[in-house]
Copies of this chain bind each other. A is one copy, B any other.
Amino acid sequence: MKIAVDAMGGDNAPQVIIEGVEQARDLYPDLEFDLYGNPDKVKPLIKNNDRLNMIATTEEISMGEEPVRAIRRKKDSSIVRAATAVKDGKADAFFSAGNTGAILAAGLFIVGRIKGIDRPGLTSILPIAQPGANRHNFVYLDTGANAESKEKNLEQYAYLGKFYAENVLGVANPRIALLNNGAEEDKGDKLHKEVWQILNSKDDLNFVGNVEAGDLLFGKADVIVSDGWTANAALKATEGTAKMMMTLIKHGILHGGLRAKLGYLMLKPTFHQIGQKMSASTYGGAVLLGLKAPVVKTHGSSDALAVKNTISQIRTMLKTGVIEKTVEFFDNTENLDNSNKNE
C-alpha cells in the first residue's frame, strides 16, 4: 500500500511530516510512501530511505491561498502532484497537513467523487469523553466541506459515516444520530425535520434520533450527522472551550502560589490523561469521505505523533476496504432513494 504524502504542508513541515512518516514506516512493514516536496528541504531530514521515495515538486500552496485558484494554477505543487498520483493509480491514498481548502479542492476535482455521491463530507473522529463509556470515539460529519446542505447530502453522510464506523472503528451496527436543536422528532428547521424522517425510515440504519450540540462528547451515538455549517460551529466551539478550560487551569496554577503548583504536580497524570483524551492528535486526521480514495488531512499544527496516528488511520481505511464497500453500496441503485436519485 502506497501513500502519497504532501511533505510541504503544515506549520512545522517538512520536519514533523517526515518524522511522523518515518515512525509509521517503522511500525507498518506493509506501507510505502511517496514524499512530494522540495528535495533540498526534505532529503536532509530523512533518516532512513527504506520505503520512502522522494518526488521533487517545485511549488507550494501556502495556508492563506485561495484554494480553487491555487490548485488550478500550481500544477507542480506538492498537493496537486500527490493528488494526481492517487487519481492515476500510482498511490492508494493522499495525506497532507496543509491548506484545508486546497486539500478539499484537490480531493474533489483531482481524486474525484464516488459515483452517486453528491457532496463529500469532511469527517472528524472525536473523543467520547464520558467516563465509563463503552467506546472511545465517534464519527462526525460534515465538519465543514459544505456551508449549505440538502436532505440528500445528510442522508449520504449517514451511510458514509456508517461504513466508516463499521470498518475503520470496528463498531457493529453503529448508532446514527442527527445533530439538531432539540431531542424530539419535530425539532429543527425544515431541513432537519425532513432528514429526521428520512433517516428514521431506513431499515439499514440504526437511527437513534437527534443529539444536541451540548451532548457531542457524551457518547450518545457512533456517528453524528450534520450539515457542514452547524457541525463546523459546534466543533469549533467544542475545541475552543476545551482550550479555554486548559488555559484557565494553567493560569490558575501559575498565579496560585506554591500551593497551586504542588497541586498541579500531584494532578499531573490526571491533566495528562485529559489532555490526551481531548487532543485531536489522538484520533487521527479529518477524512474527506465520499471520494474514490482516502484523502486525509491533519491540523496544520500537528506534531509527529499526529502524523503517525493519521497514517495509521489511512492504513486501516486501506486494509479494511471501506471505500470499496462504500462504492459498492452507492453503485447498487436499489440502496438509494429514487426520489433523491432523480433530482
Interface residues of A (CB under 8 A from B): 129-131, 144, 147-148, 179, 181, 188-189, 212-218, 229-230, 232-245, 247-249, 251-253, 256, 259-260, 262-267, 269-271, 273-274, 277-278
Contacts and interface: CB of A to CB of B under 8 A. Distances in A.
10 contacts: A144-B181, A181-B233, A234-B234, A238-B240, A252-B271, A252-B274, A256-B267, A259-B269, A260-B270, A263-B263
What are the nearest 5 A-B pairs in CB distance?
A: A263-B266, A252-B270, A214-B240, A263-B267, A214-B236
B240 A216 contact: yes
A144 B251 CA distance: 32
A191 to B, nearest CB: 10
A213 B242 contact: no
Contacts of A229: 181, 189, 230
Contacts of A181: 144, 147, 229, 232-233
A82 to B, nearest CB: 25
A242 to B, nearest CB: 6
A237 B252 contact: no
A237 B129 CA distance: 14
Contacts of A188: 147
A242 B99 CA distance: 29
Contacts of A212: 236, 240
Given A233-B233, A237-B233, A240-B213, A247 B147 contact: no
Given A179-B233, A248-B277, A256-B269, 19 more contacts: A181-B229, A181-B233, A189-B229, A213-B234, A218-B240, A230-B230, A234-B236, A235-B237, A242-B245, A249-B270, A252-B267, A252-B270, A252-B271, A252-B274, A256-B270, A259-B266, A259-B269, A262-B263, A263-B265
